[in-house]
Amino acid sequence: MSRLKILVRSPAVYGVFVLLTSQTALAHDPVFGLGPHVLFKDGVEISPEFESTEAGSAQQRALNLHLTYGLTGDWAAGVELPYVDLKNSTGSERGADDVSVFSKYRFWRKDSPGLQQSMSVFAKIKTDTASSTIGSGSTDKILGLTYGSEGRKWYHWAAARYRMNGANDNGLRRGNKLLVDLVGGIRPVQTGYLEPDTVWLMELNGEIAQNAEFDGVSLGNTGGREWFVSPGIFWTKRNFAVKAGVQIPLASDLNGNQQKTDYRAKLTLEWHL
């Protein structure tokens, strides 16, 4: 019997061996929240994403194309190219939305038998590239911190992001926003690397927004808090994955007269090359 076979028979070594050889199947992130997963070095991820949101008479459908490249085994960067269809009580508009660039760096990782824990920092810049009727007219920045615990059966994530919105040419600045995510997941059936793999997710997503400002003056009917419970699914087969989920309003405390979110839905396809 070879030395490798003897080592793999050790429960601790076998747990790590299974985790490493199943890396693609285990590399999950939440549907709506932020996870610590990064691409392997020189890896490419192509990820089209469809989003649907309704709040009273306002509707938004968006098709986002994410292109991500693995700079190292712990650092990835990419670009987001969105196309939106907007409708409200005053009319409709469709076209290319503001382009965003983003990056994620995993600064901590711990492997143990059948378990991988990691933490990453995230940064994103939304540029002012869309037309005045489609885009926000401002350059916005997002910073985030995320933790993930990924096992053979159970998953846990926690994340916080802070969005800093700029002012447009008219002096309007949307309020900054804090995003909080707590997520749990379960793999009911533990499959092998070559087999289809399913993880069911349940997310708690919170959004806490400051009031918007016009020329430095705070505006009423803006800002407030919304919380969502979000069931979802993550299905993978080797280097292909499907993520889908629905955000259902749980609690809302918006300032003044604002339309509450009715629902949000998301469907994402991922290819790792």
Would you state the pLDDT for residue 190? 87
Is the confidence at residue 20, as pLDDT, over 60?
A: no
List CB contacts of 179: < 8 A, sequence separation 6 or more.
Answer: 34, 144, 159, 160, 161, 162, 163, 205, 206, 207
Strand partners, 161: 144, 179
Domain of residue 135, CATH code: 2.40.160.40
> What does pLDDT average to over the chain?
90
Total number of domains in the chain: 1
Residue 97's alpha-carbon distances to 62, 128, 175, 228, 270, in angstroms, are 9, 9, 19, 25, 21
Chain segment 198-223, per-residue pLDDT in tens? 999 999 999 999 999 999 999 999 99
Is the confidence at residue 174, as pLDDT, over 60?
A: yes
Strand partners, 243: 234, 268
The domain in which residue 31 lies consists of: 3-272
Is the confidence at residue 250, as pLDDT, over 80?
A: yes
Please report, rounded to a whole number, the percentage of residues in the chain having pLDDT higher than 70.
90
Query: How much is the pTM?
Result: 0.89
Size of the chain, expressed as the number of residues it contains: 273
Chain segment 131-143, per-residue pLDDT in tens? 888 999 999 999 9
Chain segment 72-81, per-residue pLDDT in tens? 999 999 999 9
